[in-house]
Amino acid sequence: NAGVTQTPKFQVLKTGQSMTLQCAQDMNHEYMSWYRQDPGMGLRLIHYSVGAGITDQGEVPNGYNVSRSTTEDFPLRLLSAAPSQTSVYFCASSSLTENTEAFFGQGTRLTVV
């Protein structure tokens, strides 16, 4: 039972490079989201999706793009990486029902130099 799978686990980028963080879930969840975790700031919502073809911005969307072409996948794209995007990124999924929980991936640790 894989749950939420994120790749890669670690990544080092140079300033200005682009990359895509992958996220896949096998629980048929409608809702998927991306968070970034920074010391002393908890987790902050970047983007989220309530289903294929539907995405919206969270609290800190600048510098990131997302798309949702399938229920299973929700990639996060950094178009031009900046040192301020050095962080740990978590993907999460859940159902759209009331009595549910968010399931988190293992995270991607990204360093931008």
Give me the least distance between CB of 56 and other proteins, in Å please.
9
Encoded amino acid at 87, one letter: S
Give the whole-angstrom CA distance, residue 37 versus residue 31: 20
Cα dihedral: 36, 87, 89, 9 (round 10)? -170
Given candidates 11, 44, 61, 73, which one binds other proteins under the rule CB under 8 A? 44
Given candidates 24, 94, 110, 112, which one binds other proteins under the rule CB under 8 A? 94
**Comparison of 45 and 52: residue with beta carbon closer to other proteins:** 45
Given candidates 43, 52, 67, 77, which one binds other proteins under the rule CB under 8 A? 43
Stretch that binds other proteins, among 11-19, 40-48, 61-69, 74-82 (CB under 8 A): 40-48
CB within 8 Å of 69: residues ≥ 6 apart: 52, 53
